[in-house]
Every structure is written in structure tokens, then in C-alpha cells.
Amino acid sequence: MVASSKLPAPAAIGRLAAVQEMARLLRLLFEVEREFVRTATTLIYRVGEPELKYLLCQHVWESAGHARFLRERGRELSGFGNGDGVRDSIRALFNEAVMPVDGAVALAGFYRVLKPALLAAYAHYLRVTDHLADWPSKKLVEEFIADEQRHAREIANFLPTAASVSGWSTHLAAALTDLGGWLGNSPHVPLPSDFTWEHTRRAYAHPPTCNRGKYPTCSSVFSFDPTETPIVRPWLVDPKTDPRVIRIMVYVWLMMEMDAVDYLATIFYDTPEAAFDLHHDLARHLWDESRHSQFGFRQLPKLGVDLMTVEHSLDLYNILVQMPPHERYAMMTMEFEAGSFPTKALVMDRVRELNDFEADTLLAFDRNDEQNHVRYGHRWLPEIMALCGETRPVEEFVKATREKFQEYAATYGGKTPHDLGPETRLTGEKILRLAGVA
């Protein structure tokens, strides 16, 4: 399925001219928000700090909500248009914004240039609309302005200094000024004669591995050896394993849903013609996975775990980034998530023995979210397959993709050595001592 490219016609002069002008502005705001969702996701696997990844996932989800409500309100007004398409001028600017190789530079472009311009566009809308006649839009835009202001505050400590990225910021600002701002209401300044669009010179490519910043890395946190990794597969389902051990292992498992955050984030940019509703649900899925990772990130220190001893596994990203987006999504929803339910059900039952209300709550929400994600997979996998030209029946395609994943795992998996020695890194044996059962 390809998102309709039918854009609204120019506002007509007549009885509904005032409505059509506001609909035109709402349409532009919708297109900007949905393009932010499509492209800001490329920042997530390129920045290393987990707290920043989590924040970006939240902002993407909130922007998806903005876009959805703008579309719903816009469709109530004459002249908004029926399709989800984005005009070339807006798409080009967002395609340009992803191009820096350095994720921090790209982050600054989005948050020092594009997002402030969006805040200014929302403020302009409030100034030019009638606050009584257009009350529904006014209330929405007021909330979105508050969100944009909060986003700026939340991201501030993660941004590089303005001086260190001034060249790229100036470059993006020139492209935006050429448009006259997102709404075309600012002075139009033509591009400098020596301006070069980077995205026309080279294609954007996902990095072959994801960034985990200062945190140690490895290939996988799962194994059968308690001296090798923190999650010992047989221990998870062995009724003799102390539930305190299982609780720590499952929090490591949850924290490692950062894998899902990183590789799911790659799918948005690779599906530019997807329906907005598809990207909306992917944004929700992404935000859910980031929350699950936070469950472990925030709970493990409470149980005595030093997060700098927990290696981050990179195998899933390293393997899946070699595969096209419909195969990445198939493995995520139809294999990893759908296949996790039996083990997680046993884990939940064991953790309940501890009468740990917080752990029970986090695991319950994780399970509920994962059920929804599998539903997303059934809904959207056929659509992503169609976007990628895949014509096989879904079951046949999923089976073939599982086999392909195993082949790719042999080639691209297991290539990340342990950053930490066994005496330092968290292992199953160390979890026994932390849990007080060794």
C-alpha cells in the first residue's frame, strides 16, 4: 500500500476562503510532523546515551500524535485534502537533515533548526486564526506548543554546543529560509549559489552497528553458560531457579529491548511512501519498546547492579540492518515477540512469588504491549511487504525470512567481542551472589 500523494488544492476565494486558508496551514503542519516522525527516528540508533534514545522515542511518539490530531481536525475543514502525501519541498528538507554522519550533528540540526521553526509555525497559526471560530484547532495547537517547548527543554542537555555544529545548522537554516519557513510566512531568501543538497549527492545509509555510547557491548546477553552471560537460558524456565535470580535476569532482558528500539527505528526512513497510520503505529511500538528498556535500566540499580558492568548486546541490530525493512519487521513481530510469550509467562509466574508489586506491574504491561505489537504485525506486515514489492503469501514469506535470518546470523552475528572480562561483566554467577542465593 502506498500513501496517497493527493495534496489539497490551492485555497479558493469565496465563502470558505477563511476556512481553506487555515486548512492549508494545518496541512503544512501535518506534513512537517509526519516527516519528523519518519526522519528523526534515524537519530535513535546513531546516538549512544540510553536516556537520549528514550527521549527521542517519546518525542517521536508525541509528534505522531500531533500529526494524527492535525489530520483529524484538518479533515473537518474544506481544503485540507484526503491523502497522507507530503510535498517534495518539505520532504527534501527532512531528507537533508538526516545526512550528517555524526549523530550529534544531526541531532542538533533537528533540535536547533527544524523543531524551533515548527514551534514558530504553531505560534503563527495561533496569531492568524480566529480563536472562537477555530476554537478546536486553537486548543490543539496550544497543547502542541507546550509540547514543543518541553521538547526543547528536555533535549537541551544532550545537544552539542552551538559553535561546534554551526556549519550544519547554517546549512539547514538556509534551506528552511528558502521555503520561507514551514508555513511560507517568513521572508523568502534564495539559497546561496554554492549551496549543495547533500542528500542528492549520496544516499543515506544506516550504520552497520548501533551506538551505545559509554556502555560496554557484546554480541548477546543470552547463553547456556553462567560464566559467560547474565541471562542463562535454562535458568529462566527451571522451577528450581530462585525467583530473585529470575527477576534480575528478566530486568536485563527488558533493558536489552534497546535492541528492538534501535532496529525498529530503521524502518521508518526505509518506508517513505507508507500510509501515515502505519508510521503512527510504528511510533507507538517504538515508544513501548523504549519504555520496556527503561524498566530494566531503572530497576537494575535498585537491585545492586552496576549498569557499567552490563554489556549491551548488538547482534540483532547488526544482523537485521543487513535485511530489507519488511524482513526486519517480520522477524520482530512474527518471530521475536510472538515467540517470547511462553517463556515470559513462566517468568511472570515465578516473579509473582516475590510479592514485588512493581515488578509484577512492569511485566504485566510489557506482556500487554507485546500482544499489541503482534497485532500490529498482522495488520501492517502485509502493507510493508507490498511497499517492498514482496508478493508471496505472508506465512510463506515469514518462514523464508526466518531461514534467511539464520543464514545472516552466521555471517553477521557473533562479531562483537566482550568489552569486559568475565571478572568484571555481569554474569549468571554474579547474579546468584547479587540475589543472595550463592
Half-sphere exposure of 45 (CA within 13 A, CB side): 28
Both 177 and 228 in one domain: the answer is no
Question: Are 322 and 420 spatial neighbours (Cβ–Cβ below 8 Å)?
Answer: no
User: Does residue 1 lie within any of the structural domains?
Assistant: no
Domain that holds residue 271: 217-434
User: Does residue 240 lie within any of the structural domains?
Assistant: yes
Q: How many domains does the chain have?
A: 2
Both 34 and 104 in one domain: the answer is yes
User: Does residue 38 lie within any of the structural domains?
Assistant: yes
Provide the total of helices (H) and of strands (E) in the chain, helices listed first.
19, 4
Both 196 and 248 in one domain: the answer is no
**Residue 342 CA: distances (Å) to CA of 336, 347, 367:** 12, 9, 11
Question: Are 57 and 261 spatial neighbours (Cβ–Cβ below 8 Å)?
Answer: yes
Both 174 and 267 in one domain: the answer is no
Output the pLDDT for position 14.
78
User: Does residue 352 lie within any of the structural domains?
Assistant: yes
Question: Are 394 and 381 spatial neighbours (Cβ–Cβ below 8 Å)?
Answer: yes
User: Does residue 6 lie within any of the structural domains?
Assistant: no
Both 172 and 247 in one domain: the answer is no
Closest CA to 257 of 365, 170, 151, 176: 365
End of a domain among 138, 169, 201?
201
Both 339 and 419 in one domain: the answer is yes
Sign of the Cα torsion 238, 306, 207, 64 reads: positive
Both 274 and 399 in one domain: the answer is yes
User: Does residue 405 lie within any of the structural domains?
Assistant: yes
Question: Are 247 and 139 spatial neighbours (Cβ–Cβ below 8 Å)?
Answer: no
141 Cβ contact list (under 8 Å, min separation 6): 122, 125, 126
For every residue of 327-359, DSSP letters joined together read HHHHIIIIIIIGGGHHHHHHHHHHHGGGT-HHH
User: Does residue 274 lie within any of the structural domains?
Assistant: yes
- Give Cα 405 distance to the centre of its chain: 22
Both 315 and 380 in one domain: the answer is yes
Both 51 and 194 in one domain: the answer is yes
CATH assignment at residue 154:
1.20.1260.10
Which regions in the chain score pLDDT beneath 50? 1-2, 11
- Alpha-carbon span 312 to 301, nearest angstrom: 16
Closest CA to 154 of 237, 52, 243, 249: 52
Both 149 and 230 in one domain: the answer is no
pTM of this prediction? 0.94
Both 412 and 302 in one domain: the answer is yes
Closest CA to 29 of 97, 118, 116: 118
Both 271 and 384 in one domain: the answer is yes
